Amino acid sequence: MDTPSDTLVEFNDVHFAYGANTIFRGLSLKVPRGKLVAVLGASGSGKSTLLKLIGGQIRPQGGEVRVNGEVVHELDTDRLYAMRRKMGMMFQTSGLFSDLSVYENIAFPLREHTDLPEELIRRLVLMKLHAVGLRGAAQLQTGDLSGGMARRVALARAIATEPLLAMYDEPFAGLDPISLGVIAQLIRKLNDALGTTSIVVTYDVSETLKLVDYIYVIAEGVLAGAGTPAELLASEEPFVKQFLHLLPDGPVKFHSPARPMAEDLRLQNA
C-alpha cells in the first residue's frame, strides 16, 4: 500500500468518545483496495463505531477518516450521499424491510440510487438472489425466512448496486454452523467476483482466519495488531495472542478483581 490508489479506507490518528466513554485514542489503519479484511476486538472496542465513521454517521473528534481519497467528515450533504451510494451495508440484524417481499428488498437500493428501467432492475435482482441461492424465494415475505435465509437476502441487498465498499456488521452472529459457512463463503466469492473491497467486523475468530486477506485487531482504542491471518497467528503481542488463540487469561482477565480465594473462605467460616 505505497500509493493512494492502493488504499480505499484510511484512519489517521482518529479519536472518538461517547461522552466519557473513550472508544478510539489515536486509531490509524489502512484498508487495501480490492481485499477482504476483518476488524476484530473485544466487546466495546469500537468495531461498529468504525463502520459508522466510515459511513459518515458520526464524526471523529480528532484525526481524519478518508474513503477513496476524500475526508468523510469534511463532505457536505450532497457529496456524503454520493459517497454512500458507493457503499453497501449488511446490518447485524439483517435490517430487511418487513413490509416488503424479498424481491422488493433487493430492488429498493437499485430504484433509490439508479435510473435503470424496471426490466433491467428485475434482471439484476434475480441475478443477486441467484448468487446467494435464493432466486426461488423472491416472492416470499421477510417474516417467512429463517435466520440464515434473512442473512443471505441482506447480503444480496448489500451488493445489489455492486458497491465500491461493502461492510458487514457481525454477519455470523446467531447462525448455525451450516448457515455460517454458507454466508462466509458467499462474502468471499462475491468480494472476488465483483472486485469489491469488503470490511467484516466480527467476534468469530476461527471463521475469520479461514476467510479474509487481512486482519486488524483493536484494543484499548488503538490498533493492537495488523497482518495476514498467518502473521497474526504467529504474533507474540499479548492481546493479539490471547484473542486469536482464545486464551482465557491475558491482558483481558477472565476473573474479576477479588481477594484471594483462601481469604474469602476464611471470612466465610469466621
Return phi, psi of residue 123, to 5°: -65, -40
- How much is the average pLDDT of 253-268? 75
Residue corresponding to grid cell 433509490: 112
**pLDDT number for residue 269:** 63
SS3 label, residue 7: strand
> Each residue of 76-95: pLDDT tens digit?
999 999 999 999 998 877 78
Q: Which residues contact 100 (CB under 8 A, 6 or more apart)?
A: 108, 142
25 burial level (CB within 10 Å; 0-12, 13-18, 19+) = middle
For residue 4, pLDDT beyond 60: no
> Each residue of 195-249: pLDDT tens digit?
899 999 988 888 888 889 999 999 889 999 999 999 999 988 888 888 888 777 7
Amino acid at the residue 239: F
**pLDDT number for residue 87:** 93
**49 and 15 in contact (C-beta within 8 Å)?**
no
Strand segments, DSSP code E, in the chain are 7-18, 21-32, 36-41, 62-67, 70-71, 87-90, 165-169, 197-201, 214-219, 222-227
**179 and 133 in contact (C-beta within 8 Å)?**
no
- Which residues lie across from 9 on neighbouring strands? 31, 67
For residue 265, pLDDT beyond 60: yes
Which of these, 188, 204, 121, lies nearest to 160 by C-alpha position?
A: 121
If you compute the radius of gyration of the chain from its CA atoms, what whole number of angstroms results? 21
Cα separations in angstroms, 69 against 104, 121, 261, 266? 33, 30, 55, 63
User: 3-state DSSP: the chain helix, strand, coil percent, rounded to 5?
Assistant: 40, 25, 35
**pLDDT number for residue 1:** 41
> Each residue of 19-72: pLDDT tens digit?
999 999 999 999 999 999 999 988 888 898 999 999 999 999 999 999 999 999
For residue 110, pLDDT beyond 90: yes
Question: pLDDT grade, residue 3 (50/70/90)?
Answer: very low
> Each residue of 8-19: pLDDT tens digit?
999 999 999 999
**Fold of the CATH domain 4-34+41-86+165-170+203-269:** Rossmann fold (3.40.50)
For residue 141, pLDDT beyond 50: yes
Dihedral over Cα of 200, 63, 81, 85: its sign: negative
- How much is the average pLDDT of 98-122? 92
**pLDDT number for residue 254:** 66
Reported pTM: 0.85
